[in-house]
Amino acid sequence: MRTVELLPDGATEARVRRVWARLAELGMPSLAGHRHATNRPHLTLTTASEWAWDVRPALTEALSLLPLPLRLEGTLRFEGRTSVLAWGVVPDAGLVALQRQVWELLPEAGNPLFEPENWVPHLSLGRTRSGPGSWPPELLPSELSEPWEGRFAAARSYDSESRTVERLI
């Protein structure tokens, strides 16, 4: 599987990493513990099992409108086989349009979570299989209650088979 991801500016990345570190210090599940070199804050626009050989120029063109505004506000929790704590990304019209365009360029994606009407933009903070009580609201870092504004500055693709990333723009 391959992803198309947006990367935040340096100040936003540093802020998210501080939250990761604070969650870990408090003994809560955090992406700070994920040591792979490719681990960094990102927003996934879509996933695909593979890309058609001719999709790259259109994808590069779609992503060329970066940078885009980024606003982090509120926490989200996703429950399923794995529980995820995330920082919500407020979707403005430009981000919504970009996500739809990228999703349409990769029609073989097939993951319903990334269909434009289902997509929930977020930056993941932690994940666990230990259940929904892993992040008591009263213990969450104060930064998560304060809105943050930054920019999406770059794009990449992660290949889950080779565990490598490729810069897209």
Q: What is the CATH number of domain 2-167?
A: 3.90.1140.10
Please calculate the CA angle 71-114-108 and round it to the nearest 5 degrees: 140
Cβ atoms of 106 and 65 closer than 8 Å: no
How far, in Å, are 51, 74, 83, 133, 151 from residue 60 at the CA level? 13, 31, 33, 41, 18
pLDDT tens, residue order, the chain (169 aa): 999 999 999 999 999 999 999 999 999 999 998 888 789 999 999 999 888 888 999 999 999 999 999 999 999 999 988 899 999 999 999 999 999 999 999 876 668 999 999 999 999 999 998 766 689 999 999 999 999 999 999 999 999 899 999 999 9
CA nearest neighbour of 122 among 100, 89, 160, 94:
89
Which distant-in-sequence residues (6+ apart) come within 8 Å of 35 by Cβ? Answer: none
Which position has the token pair 């892993």?
Answer: 134
